[in-house]
Amino acid sequence: MAGRPSLSWQLLLLGAFLSLPDPAGAQTRYSVPEDLEPGSFVGNIAKDLAVDVRSLSARSLRLVSEGGRQRFQVNLADGVLLVNEKLDREALCGLSSTCFLQLQLVLESPLQLHRVEVEILDVNDNAPQFLKKEVSLEITEVANPGTRLPLEVAEDPDIGSNSISTYELSASDHFALSINVRGDGVKMPEIVLEKALDREKVAAHHLTLTALDGGDPVRSGTARITVHVLDANDNPPVCDPPISKVFLEENVLSGTLVTQLNVTDLDEGLNGEVEYSFKTSNNAPDTFLRLFSLDPQTGQITTKAPLDYEDSSAYEITVRARDKGSPAMEGHCSLRVELVDVNDNSPDIVLTSLSSPVQEDAPLGTVIALFGAKDSDSGENGHVHLQISNDLPFKLVSSFKGHYSLVTTGPLDREKAAGYNITVMATDAGSPRRSTEQTIFLQISDVNDNMPRFSSPSYTSHIQENTLPGASVFSVSASDPDVGTNSKLSYSILDTGMQDVPLSAYLHINPENGTIYALQAFDYEQDKVFQVPVEVQDAGSPALSSTATLHLFVLDQNDNAPTIVYPPVPRGSVFQQTVPSSAEPGYLVTKIVAVDADSGHNAWLSYQLQETSEPCPFRVELRSGEIRITEALRESGAPYRLVVQQAQPNPDWRFSQAQRPGTSGSQNGEEGGAWPNNQFDTEMLQAMILASANEAADGNSTLGGGAGTMGLSTRYGPQFTLQHVPDYRQNVYIPGSTATLSNSSGKRDGKSSGSSGGNKKKSGKKEKK
């Protein structure tokens, strides 16, 4: 073949499947479209078979095809396979989806046989055709829209997309084309009646049916179709008017005439005789059948049961008027029966939404509930108004017709009202009016808006020192008007940090019931009073709390022995006191001062001398500790050895009003009242005693001070005076002190205080120790 194939054929051959043969004789495949002109390029057979082009002639190359027809040839000069004659795929393979031609290529010297397969591709070279170019159909003029008339299919020998793709129908006012697809994929055309026919107007309709294939370019074929309209009973009964309306009051008596239908039929004889019947459909429920009756001959419609506007305000009735022709024709009468309402129904209240419970801190305007108001009556009879009592913190707001919102108009307080019974009254505007009531209960949910409160802002309790750990000290209680979690209380002790040891080391509180327990034994001499801040907190969110103070006083126990503070006597030594030999009975030798770290009764001391076998010319005052001479001293210089003992008084020791310790305002007037009378007064008094003894021991005190204050009024205040306690400093002899000691009668040695010799020694007399 001279020259290269055109570009279009190159593109067609790109998809060819090529297989190089081997000596064993493999198969080589080519693809070419049908209708190629003779001499068109198919494939380079020499190259694909790897045969030297120069040897083709020498080896006597020849093609052998089925049937002996030479549709292809080989150019021995270049080894190219060419089309030898024009190929027709439809003639070669018919309607088969594939078309292959088998060739054998024979080479000699040496002998080789190669198989070559050429696929013939379809080309849209055939137009669709109808077997009949003229088609005649018949249809009755009374055929209903939707009636279908099947048509013959067209044929196209091409395959695939080149075969028949669709059909088209010429424009028509009455007919349309419908295409169905069979199971084998063949498209079946049908004519569908879209508009009723009238033979008296048009006796025949002429249409053109076109079949189109899917090739490029598209090819088509046509057929003329004539539809003949057959004459029939073509005048249906006609209702005049076709649509009518009737008004009836509800509850009219059964048998009341509703209407008389007026129907005419232009046909004659049986074709003009009409029978009446009710027509029902999905769009027109047959509920009216139990309410109305129809005379099939006269077309009169009457009631046969009571009517109720609330069941239905109107009824749509369709009456079928059918003649007796063959085929029968029918017409339809549409009747709307509208009922006139009577106020025979009470309004209805519909609760569509209720938010209950509602929190007590809900802001003003919070929507609580949504109501719907309806009345089956109409007009004023169905106009409904809702209202509630004015003494409630709520109001009804009309959002739109027949719908109301119940909103808050004031603050809510669950502690005052845990819920509300709200009665809603609905009243229509009919005559006479009808009304309905509905009551809802609105629960108010708690908000933590009340802090817990103790029964008292402060408490007072006492505990004995040395009480065993674990003992119950006191129980505090609080209350919270809230409920649920908001009223669940928890107690705790606040540590103020004002003490060296935190309160948590001494006390523990049960967080659930407020009972306070001791964690260790108390020591009155170390801590006499505790101020315990107690907090109670609820479990709300956020939590609220309050505090109260427990004043816990430690009560003294007699767990400390008395200690002599004057005269100071080092351990293991003896105090010596010189007494004039001339001293007379009543002479004050010295004064013993002892203190006790305990308080109150446990710290009140008495003094006595240890009994000896020898007579003793001295005595010690039981309460004051003053040692005085009771008889004349012996002349010998031998010293007297006195041993003072000190001890707390008996529990039944009582004091007069002038002797009882305590503040001047704390006395209750009882001569025999037990001491201590008041713990605060007792502690203050004890401090005064210790200070008095310390000042006496220091030897620096003036031992005077203000009148009746023991010299301590500026430190401890004027409430403690000599009328409450004996002055332990008087008559105390302090060696080296310039202070004047006096006995209780104002005398040093029992003589008058005015005597200048009251402190002199008798001549020739020795001083006694």
For residues 58-79, give the mean pLDDT.
84
Q: So what's the pLDDT on residue 462?
A: 94
Q: How far is CA 314 from CA 253, 291, 299, 307, in A?
A: 17, 12, 20, 10
Confidence of residue 613 (pLDDT cuts 50, 70, 90): confident
Helix %, strand %, coil % of the chain (to 5): 10, 35, 55
Q: So what's the pLDDT on residue 280?
A: 81
Residue 677 sits at φ, ψ, to 5 deg, of -85, -30
With b meaning 16 or more CB within 10 Å and e meaning fewer, what string describes 565-598? bbbeeeeeeeeebebbbbbeeebbbbbbbbbbbb
Torsion of CA 630, 637, 737, 759, to 10 degrees: 60
Q: Are 493 and 507 in contact (CB under 8 A)?
A: yes
For residues 666-686, give the mean pLDDT.
43
Tell how strand 220-230 and strand 134-140 pair up: parallel
pLDDT in tens, 429-447: 988 899 999 999 999 999 9
For residues 407-430, give the mean pLDDT.
92
For residues 573-578, give the mean pLDDT.
82
Q: Is 288 helix (H, G, I), strand (E, B) or coil?
A: helix
Q: So what's the pLDDT on residue 357?
A: 93
For residues 24-50, give the mean pLDDT.
83
Secondary element (H or E) of residue 91: helix 89-93
Least confident interval from 87-91, 377-381, 643-647, 737-741: 737-741
Look at 72 and 23; give whichever has higher pLDDT: 72
Secondary element (H or E) of residue 46: helix 45-49
- DSSP string for 241-267: SSEEEEEEETTPPTT-EEEE--EE-SS
Q: So what's the pLDDT on residue 689?
A: 52
CA-nearest of 18, 77, 75 to 49 is 18
Task: Kindly state the tokens that stand for 410.
Answer: 């004031």
The counts of H helices and E strands in the chain are: 5, 49
User: Is pLDDT at 344 greater than 80 in this prediction?
Assistant: yes
Q: So what's the pLDDT on residue 748?
A: 39
Q: How far is CA 345 from CA 147, 251, 291, 353, 503, in A?
A: 51, 13, 21, 24, 77
Residue 558 to residue 141: CA distance in whole angstroms:
134
Residue 400 to residue 375: CA distance in whole angstroms:
16
Confidence of residue 301 (pLDDT cuts 50, 70, 90): very high
Task: State the average pLDDT for the chain.
Answer: 79
Q: So what's the pLDDT on residue 634?
A: 72
User: SS3 string of 675-730?
Assistant: CCCCHHHHHHHHHHHHHHHHHHHHCCCCCCCCCCCCCCHHHHCCCCCCCCCCCCCC
Confidence of residue 767 (pLDDT cuts 50, 70, 90): very low
User: Is pLDDT at 5 greater than 50 in this prediction?
Assistant: no
Task: Kindly state the tokens that stand for 306.
Answer: 């009571």
At a CB cut-off of 8 Å and minimum separation 6, what does 723 contact? 658, 664, 708
Q: So what's the pLDDT on residue 696?
A: 46
Q: How far is CA 638 from CA 121, 155, 580, 581, in A?
A: 164, 170, 13, 11
- DSSP string for 101-118: EEEEEEETTTTEEEEEEE
Confidence of residue 235 (pLDDT cuts 50, 70, 90): confident
Least confident interval from 24-33, 96-105, 414-423, 518-527: 24-33
Residue type, 488: K
The DSSP symbol for 519 reads: S
CB-facing half-sphere around the CA of 629: CA atoms within 13 A: 23
Q: So what's the pLDDT on residue 626?
A: 92
pLDDT in tens, 144-177: 999 999 998 998 888 888 888 899 999 999 999 9
For residues 464-488, give the mean pLDDT.
93
Q: So what's the pLDDT on residue 86?
A: 87
| pTM above threshold 0.85 | no
For residues 446-463, give the mean pLDDT.
94
Look at 77 and 268; give whichever has higher pLDDT: 77
Among 40-54, 292-306, 718-732, top mean pLDDT goes to 292-306
- Sign of dihedral through CA atoms 340, 346, 350, 354? positive
pLDDT in tens, 315-337: 989 999 999 888 888 899 999 99
Q: What percentage of the chain carries pLDDT values higher than 90?
A: 35
Q: So what's the pLDDT on residue 96?
A: 81
Task: Kindly state the tokens that stand for 515.
Answer: 């009972």
Q: So what's the pLDDT on residue 672?
A: 36
User: Is pLDDT at 704 greater than 80 in this prediction?
Assistant: no
Residue 93 sits at φ, ψ, to 5 deg, of -125, -5
Q: Are 443 and 356 in contact (CB under 8 A)?
A: yes
CA angle (464, 465, 471) in 5-degree steps: 65
Residue 250 to residue 255: CA distance in whole angstroms:
13
The DSSP symbol for 162 reads: G
Q: So what's the pLDDT on residue 727?
A: 39
pLDDT in tens, 173-221: 999 999 998 877 889 999 999 999 887 788 899 999 999 998 888 999 9
**CB count in 10 Å sphere of residue 42:** 25
Q: So what's the pLDDT on residue 244?
A: 93
Secondary element (H or E) of residue 437: strand 435-445
Look at 281 and 495; give whichever has higher pLDDT: 495
CA-nearest of 10, 16, 158, 13 to 89 is 158
Least confident interval from 60-64, 398-402, 747-751: 747-751
Strands (E), 34-99: 41-44, 62-65, 72-75, 80-83
Look at 557 and 268; give whichever has higher pLDDT: 557
Q: So what's the pLDDT on residue 694?
A: 52
For residues 487-508, give the mean pLDDT.
87
User: Is pLDDT at 706 greater than 70 in this prediction?
Assistant: no
pLDDT in tens, 136-145: 999 988 889 9
Q: How far is CA 80 from CA 18, 40, 153, 179, in A?
A: 14, 10, 44, 48
For residues 234-238, give the mean pLDDT.
85
Q: So what's the pLDDT on residue 282?
A: 65
- Burial class, 145, CB count within 10 angstroms (exposed 0-12 / middle 13-18 / buried 19+): exposed
Secondary element (H or E) of residue 549: strand 545-555
User: Is pLDDT at 62 greater than 80 in this prediction?
Assistant: yes
In the block, residue with structure tokens 């009737």: 246
